[in-house]
Homo-oligomer: A and B are copies of this chain.
């Protein structure tokens, strides 16, 4: 239902701003928050606004170029790794670690069977104490 269907029809373009946001995410091995991405993006492109960072993140996510991770404890974080993977989060220092469990394909199937959902994805996060924090938090009862 378009008036003309122009050639470019590019509802989703890769603009300089989006390129910068993507670059920021790709050049960090941490899982940055929107806030951190905004700060880093400003250094590369001082005029970029907060809203544009969010717009870009939504766009890049939709385009499958970044992944959003959210654990409910605060701000979303953005991940350059877009293939399905799991996470472990330290309950002491909140560190986030990537994880790959081979069992998830079966698990997804099993879960979907039990609740009669058409499976799309599965999110799995281990909560625990990381080696570093275990070292310091060794306090006995």
Of B70, B100, B111, the contact of A126 (CB 8 Å cutoff): B111
User: Interface size of A by Cβ–Cβ distance < 8 Å?
Assistant: 39
With A72-B76, A110-B101, A114-B99 in contact, do A123 and B125 touch (Cβ < 8 Å)?
Answer: yes
Contact B117 A122 (CB under 8 A): no
Tally of this chain's copies: 2
Complex contacts, A72 vs chain B, CB 8 Å: 69-72, 76
- Selecting from A10-18, A24-32, A40-48, A85-93, the interface stretch reads A85-93
Complex contacts, A140 vs chain B, CB 8 Å: none
| CB of A134 closer than 8 Å to a CB of B | yes
Residue in chain B with minimal CB distance to A131: B116
